[in-house]
Structure 1
Amino acid sequence: MKNYIKSIKNDVINYRRTIHQNPELSYEEKETSNYIANELDKLGITYKRQSDNYGIIAYFNVDNASKTIAFRADMDALPLNEETNVNYSSKKSKCMHACGHDAHTAILLGFAKVLQEFKSELKNNIILVFQPAEEASPNGGAKAIINSGVLDGIDEIYGLHVWPEANVGEVMVKKGAMMANSDHFYVSINGKSSHAAEPHKGIDALSTACNWVSNIQTFISRGLDPFDNAVLTIGTFNSGVRYNVVSELTKIEGTCRTFSSKTRDYLENSLKNSLEALDKAYGTNSVLDYQRGYPALINNDEAVDKVVKAIIKSDLKVVYKDNASTGAEDFAFYLQKYKGAFFFLGTKYSGCFPLHHPKFNIDEDILLNGILVFTNLAFNNANDD
């Protein structure tokens, strides 16, 4: 199989570059979905399209299967102008595969070729999930796939993400919590306008909000166990209409990243209670809209052990991640319902840029690494292992 996988390298690179040149945002992946379907048709692979989104589910069923294993790739892009200057750059303004979903989809298509070529050797049923809208937090595409019931009865599910913090040839794994709960909050602090020369006649929503933003950082530094990791970040702060007018309204947006339900509840309640106290102290009228996004991604220990075996069999290096990432992934929804694991595929090279950067790119050698790991999970994963 390894020689066959090497032989399809150019095909897989072509998959990736075609998708990269034609990116589509979340819930707009019509042409990407059509491209995937066309390639599956060429291979003679059975698949079904999701009725209410652009997801595609491909099936490889065998007689007397030991189990059913699912593999997932996401396909949506981000609203960025690409700055890589490669000859396969995005053809679209403000739309780019800056998170590697083009690579994920190409890997799954390449894996589909392997499965079709060696289907007679399969002992497990395999389901491939080409998922839209991973970037659409809090309502990412995983929810629709799960709710459709197409994965009911599966035994395991696996997914990967290209990772510029790990070197090419490395695959990063972690048992338990690997990625964070990701929540988005909006705050409106309403005061009372007045002339800047007579601030005592108004209620300054700007200075009040500044105090609040500074004080809420103590929720983590003084309210949490030092070993309970969490992040609270304010991303936007907008206030005021003119230099000589006391601001009447401040609007703030931020995010909380946590790894447990207890800490998640604590931060949401602390934000709510602190705004109530602010209003009592300063006379403001504040509103909190706290939106829970993706849950923490919790890997199953046994599934991680299987990933490790697959990495070693692929002649790649296993790297155990010490700390969970504060990033988020809607693959977490699958792991709330099904046994499985998510892992990071190293793509670090000299001069590489981070995920979600307009200059982000990958070393395309890693595409075959992803296929190798998936292949070893599919063909060397029986009930008695």
Structure 2
Amino acid sequence: MKTVEEILPGIIEFRHALHRIPELAGKEFETSALIRARLSGLGVELLDPFLGTDAVALLHGGRGAGKNVTLRADIDALALSEATGVAYASEHAGRMHACGHDGHTAMVMGAAEILASRRDEFAGSVRFVFQPGEENAAMGRDLVAAGALENPTADFVTALHGMPGLPVGMLALRDGAMMGSCAHFKVTLTGQGGHSSRPHLARNPVTAAAAIVSELEGMTSRLVSAQRPAVLTICRIAGGELANVIPDTAVIEGTARSLSPESDEILERGFRETVEAVAKLRGVKAEIEYRLAYPVTLNAPGPAELARRVIREAGMAYTELPESSLGAEDFAWYCRRYPCVYAKVGTGEECPALHNSKFDFPDAALSAGIRYLVNFALAALA
């Protein structure tokens, strides 16, 4: 049986190899090839890709049939230029692992190596999911819909994410909402262009956009209870190229986030009604694109309590998260269909923020994540 101490040097080397070759959502060809090559030496059942760049493998226990535990990692990177200065920095210009997905992948791979050496200890199976496209594309939805967690059906699912500000290796979670939802919206307003000296002969989409933004800014407080966090943010407004010409079109883009599915429904309905009403009043046409790419990530009570017990019995550092995050995560799509628990692992109090050009998942946090994943899998199957 392998130990964390034995495999850790190889896992660190594996993470560094991943860090050098960051790839964007849906294009993780080098990354998935590296993952598949390592899995192929573990005696697992390596499944054909469901989405092209995913890697899913099943480890069958030596004690016969039983439950299934699924361990998930995300594998994509961000369109950001790296400024860490590490020896294993990105070799792909304009791309880097600024969200720690190389660390998440390394931890699940480490768990796979240890569990493969201990397969005779359990009945049932462990599924290892290396998922593409978490950033922006939310490909977790597609992977779940494609049946990646079926045959056998997952009885428990868990995932880890690095958390700057938390001591290195400390684990953390909470019941209910761990991460918020995120809906992306885009409104294209079409009016009638004209000269700035004759605005009465035009239908100005820019001033219509300004009126819509003003109404949307106060929408959440009007529609959603103050007891339920929700936020709508306008991130982009664009229209026209010249200071004396009224354009034909203007665009508004942003996100809406909450911590409850009920609030998500209220936000979308209110958003559409508000935009359409103001557009009609201003005499312009509104084309609305509104997509809930990331639902709320909800920890199920049973798996969450199992995770706490596993951490406690292993003597690992733990803290209960005092509040949810309004950041989003497509692990939410797993949680909608299967009993899930999503946990955080500390990357250090002084660690740069996620999505920062200086972020680098610390090697010192890998062992804690591997221990958690191995112990969770064995406890869930026991």
1 CA distance for matches of 2:293 and 2:148? 22
User: Equivalences for 1:369-384 in 2 at 5 Å?
Assistant: 369-382=368-381
**1:312 offset after TM fit, Å?**
1.9
User: Equivalences for 1:128-143 in 2 at 5 Å?
Assistant: 128-138=128-138, 140-143=139-142
SS in 2 for 1:109: helix
| 2:367 aligned partner | 368
**1:66 offset after TM fit, Å?**
4.3
2 CA distance for matches of 1:163 and 1:180? 16
Q: Does structure 1 residue 342 correspond to structure 2 residue 326?
A: no
**1:313 offset after TM fit, Å?**
2.9
User: What count of residue pairs does the alignment treat as equivalent?
Assistant: 380
**1:123 offset after TM fit, Å?**
4.2
1 CA distance for matches of 2:96 and 2:308? 32
CA distance 1:145–1:274, shift in 2 (3 Å): closer
**1:149 offset after TM fit, Å?**
4.8
User: Equivalences for 1:238-317 in 2 at 5 Å?
Assistant: 238-317=238-317
Instruction: Note the aligned Cα RMSD (angstroms).
Output: 1.9
CA distance 1:90–1:255, shift in 2 (3 Å): same
| 2:16 aligned partner | 17
CA distance 1:282–1:92, shift in 2 (3 Å): same
Is contact 1:236-1:253 (8 Å) kept? yes
User: Equivalences for 1:121-200 in 2 at 5 Å?
Assistant: 121-138=121-138, 140-152=139-151, 153-200=153-200
**1:117 offset after TM fit, Å?**
2.1
CA distance 1:315–1:50, shift in 2 (3 Å): same
Name the amino acid aligned to 1:301.
Answer: P
| 2:40 aligned partner | 41
**1:245 offset after TM fit, Å?**
1.5
**1:315 offset after TM fit, Å?**
2.7
**1:217 offset after TM fit, Å?**
1.5
With 220-229 and 272-281 compared, the bigger mean Cα shift is at 272-281
SS in 1 for 2:23: coil
Is contact 2:224-2:266 (8 Å) kept? no
2 CA distance for matches of 1:254 and 1:189? 15
Is contact 1:70-1:126 (8 Å) kept? yes
2 CA distance for matches of 1:66 and 1:282? 62
CA distance 1:88–1:349, shift in 2 (3 Å): farther
- TM superposition score normalised by structure 1: 0.93
| 2:321 aligned partner | 321
Is contact 1:124-1:378 (8 Å) kept? no
Is contact 1:83-1:358 (8 Å) kept? yes
1 CA distance for matches of 2:137 and 2:29? 19
Name the amino acid aligned to 1:295.
Answer: P
SS in 2 for 1:342: strand
1 CA distance for matches of 2:381 and 2:222? 48
**1:261 offset after TM fit, Å?**
2.8
Query: What do residues 286-318 of structure 1 show as CA deviations (whole Å, max 9, x unaligned)?
Result: 221111212111111110011111222333222
**1:124 offset after TM fit, Å?**
4.2
Query: What do residues 116-153 of structure 1 show as CA deviations (whole Å, max 9, x unaligned)?
Result: 22222234421111112222434x14422442355342
Is contact 2:65-2:124 (8 Å) kept? yes
Where structure 2 has 5 or more consecutive residues not aligned to the other structure, the ranges are none
Is contact 1:137-1:294 (8 Å) kept? no
**1:380 offset after TM fit, Å?**
2.5
Query: What do residues 20-60 of structure 1 show as CA deviations (whole Å, max 9, x unaligned)?
Result: 00111111112211111211223333322325422222222
Name the amino acid aligned to 1:281.
Answer: L
Is contact 2:234-2:252 (8 Å) kept? yes
| 2:118 aligned partner | 118
Query: What do residues 241-277 of structure 1 show as CA deviations (whole Å, max 9, x unaligned)?
Result: 2011224321111111122232212211222211222
**1:93 offset after TM fit, Å?**
1.1
Instruction: Write out the 4+ residue segments of structure 1 that deviate beyond 4 Å after TM superposition.
Output: none
With 231-240 and 318-327 compared, the bigger mean Cα shift is at 318-327
2 CA distance for matches of 1:146 and 1:72? 15
Is contact 1:66-1:124 (8 Å) kept? yes
| 2:27 aligned partner | 28
Name the amino acid aligned to 1:174.
Answer: R
**1:196 offset after TM fit, Å?**
1.8
Is contact 1:65-1:124 (8 Å) kept? yes
2 CA distance for matches of 1:280 and 1:333? 36
Is contact 1:157-1:341 (8 Å) kept? yes
**1:184 offset after TM fit, Å?**
0.8
CA distance 1:52–1:362, shift in 2 (3 Å): closer
1 CA distance for matches of 2:50 and 2:284? 48
| 1:96 aligned partner | 96
2 CA distance for matches of 1:287 and 1:324? 33
